[in-house]
Chains A and B, each alone.
Chain A
Amino acid sequence: MKDINILMIGVGGQGTVLSSDIVCDVALAGDADVKKSEIHGMAQRGGSVVSHVRIGAKVLSPVIPIGEADIVISFENMEFLRYPEYAGKNTSLVVSTHRIYPPSVAGGQEAYPAEQTEDTKKAFKEVFEIDAMKTATAIGNSKVAGMVMLGKLAALLPFDADLWRAVISKKVPPKTVDMNLAAFNAGYQF
């Protein structure tokens, strides 16, 4: 299969790590090789979180090389700006329109970089803007916004939707399976 590099970016607490774990399990279930790399440790809640996921027949480095991300998925509206090196000319962007204000913006010292965010979107091959928070709230819980995003990502990858649904059902807390699947389906059809 063709190699696929996915850079998954979010803010601590948004479920970025769980989402990237789901992508890994789907890839393995779909008979692909997969590697993932992420950095945590001093990243407290509210910090920037990034996972590199690489899928292919045989994956080597767990980290995506410069300019070689096929898909950048940003669970927050500005966070993809933080990792300019991985996106190239042929990169697709999936971005949530939801904003989470960094401390300096919340404290009034700096502005949210709305203009830069809009400008930079032009550098991508294609952009999918998802109002994941609104969709999740309509489903009944803002916490499944990440699953809406994952649904859109799934639609761009060569794995069967039922494979995703099976992995999600295993990975999320049992009581939240239905709500997460509803969120996934909403994102998948976006």
Chain B
Amino acid sequence: MKEVLSGNEAFARGAYEHGVKVVSSYPGTPSTEITEHVAQYEQIYSEWATNEKVALETVIGASLAGRRAMTCMKHVGLNVAADPLMTVSYTGVNGGLVIVVADDPNMFSSQNEQDSRHYARLAKVPMLEPADSQEAKDFIGIALEMSEKYCTPVLVRSCTRISHSKSVVTLKARNTPPTFEPENDIKKWVMVPANARVRHKIVENRLEKLADCADTGRLTINPVEFRSEEIGIICAGVTYHYVKEAMPEASILKLEMVYPICFEKIKRFCERVKKLYVVEELDRFIENELKAAGIEIQPLNRSVCGELSVDEVRKLFGKSVKEPAFDPKQLPARPPNMCPGCSHRGMFYAIAKLKLFAAGDIGCYTLGLLPPLSAINSTVCMGASIPMAHGMDKATDGALARKSVAVIGDSTFFHTGINGLLNSVYNAGTSTVIILDNSITGMTGHQPNPGTGCTIKGAPTQKINFPKLLEAMGVKNIRTVNPFDPDECIKVLKEETAREELSVIVTDKPCIFADRSVIKPPFYVDVKNCSGCTICTRLGCPAILWNKEDKRAFIDESLCTGCELCVKVCRFDAIHQRG
């Protein structure tokens, strides 16, 4: 049967068809939907882990126990999982182990543009790269077989244009998965130096065998499409389709295993073409590997920033591209925004009002940087807010801690924020930390986390109680505030930033998508009372609009969720509730 599947749906289907037993992941765009779709298959145990390191360690355990396992993450997530990755390369696997990593060329929703292929070389593990959804599904199977045959974890690289594009896939039934007895082999699984020195040699030997297996055609990967003798192009992933459409006359070698590189096959390909080019997205990874092996590559004036496309490839080879029908216009933007009824907005309003420096973090609340709130002053990576505030505190002997806060969401706190807070407690920090607890992982599409109270499959589970957790961690000053009451937020912020001790403020209202019961009848502006002071429009709520003609605010009642934040800031009793 054929279906049109996204790359992410196809990766999930691949895990199902090829007998994966355990999937543990942390959500991150563009990889999130893989695990969400895996969760729909009852034959696979799946979970949201608290972070990517925990997820990878969990599936390493599943592999040791003799079952096929997979973890999925975005490129920056692999940084978090890098520690176990480097060593599971040495231990090898028992059941097949696949790590799907989704890069984000052009950074549609990411804080950097890193090229994950470097991790394959760094960890000395093979990396496969599919070019469409059918291959996304098939390559999970190839990766699992490769993993078991060569005793190695296998990286499968996706990118936004694979994960979030759709193409036709032929579906098959689930295979009977191979299972293995759990391994109890300390020379393999206990990486003390004496054992690791032995394993390192095995890893180097494995890389040679892997390159050789692709070269001699024992794996049906790295196909050659021979056309012109003039131009030969080596490419990989979605770039293959760009190249094929832009350069239909060229001969193509499609590298489906991007690491280790199979040089023999490439050398034979070079001998058949006059000019050899490498077309690849992001870094010059394949090109540099080939150059280091003494293969002559024709230069291309290609940027290492952003995405490729059919047109970009045409331009690289001096071909013309079509003219657009009209010129770009200056248009009113439709920027991302915190939703109407968002429980973060009131606290950001208070932070902006007090002109506090806010060390921010990764999540919906990063949008607090946008005007009119403009309340976030730094964002680096998951969990960075609390240690950065701690560093600012120590660097200024507490002076900056009196004028700043760290802001972090519940999911990010569980991910890596908790480590930073422990550090601040232990090292007698005096900063003020705000946990914006909305009981869900908002930015990636509302996945549950340990503060939600249910698992990925919706089963009820232990819900973490923030005040109790913080108390157990040794935090002495813990305040819980209602983020829809800006006056209370301002008062508590003033008190806690003035305090020369560490304090944690927890906001405890759910995301409107986590708990729809919080939605109340909408509000409207009584124009008789409205003075046109604009204090409500400065909340940046998408439901509050401005009538240019009579210079008064009005509310789009179809968007309003009745959160009451605007009522609390209005000083003229101009906002009332319907019903």
A residues within 8 Å of B by Cβ? 11, 21, 24-25, 27-28, 33-48, 59-63, 65-68, 78, 81-82, 84-89, 91, 101-108, 110-113, 116, 120, 123-124
Contact = CB atoms under 8 A, between A and B. Distances in A.
A81 B168 CA distance: 30
Nearest to A121: B326
Nearest to B547: A108
Contact of A103 (B238, B321, B542): B542
B160 interface: yes
Contacts of A24: 4, 166
Interface of B: 2-4, 29-30, 108-109, 132, 160-161, 164-168, 238, 241-242, 244-245, 309-311, 314, 321-329, 331-339, 367, 443, 537, 542, 545-548, 556
B334 A103 contact: yes
Contact of A124 (B109, B322, B325, B337): B325
A104 B164 contact: no
Given A47-B334, A65-B245, A67-B322, 4 more contacts: A39-B164, A88-B322, A88-B323, A102-B333
Contacts of B334: 11, 46-48, 102-103
22 contacts: A35-B165, A36-B167, A39-B160, A42-B443, A44-B367, A47-B334, A48-B334, A60-B244, A61-B238, A62-B167, A63-B161, A63-B165, A65-B321, A66-B322, A81-B329, A84-B329, A86-B324, A88-B324, A102-B331, A103-B337, A105-B332, A116-B331
Determine chain B's interface SS by DSSP, over half rule.
Answer: loop
B168 A60 contact: no
A42 B166 contact: no
Contacts of A106: 545-546, 556
Contacts of A68: 322
B325 A66 contact: no
B3 A28 contact: yes
Nearest to B323: A67
Contacts, number: 159
A45 B339 contact: yes
B396 to A, nearest CB: 33
A123 B325 CA distance: 6
Contacts of A45: 339
A102 B332 contact: yes
A24 to B, nearest CB: 4
B331 A78 contact: yes
B329 A120 contact: yes
A60 B324 contact: no
Contact of A47 (B245, B324, B336): B336
Given A36-B165, A61-B245, A89-B325, A112 B4 contact: no
B325 A67 contact: yes
A123 B160 CA distance: 31
B311 A42 contact: no
A17 to B, nearest CB: 10
A7 to B, nearest CB: 12
A61 B164 contact: no
A113 B4 contact: no
A116 B332 CA distance: 12
Given A62-B167, A106-B545, A87 B324 contact: yes
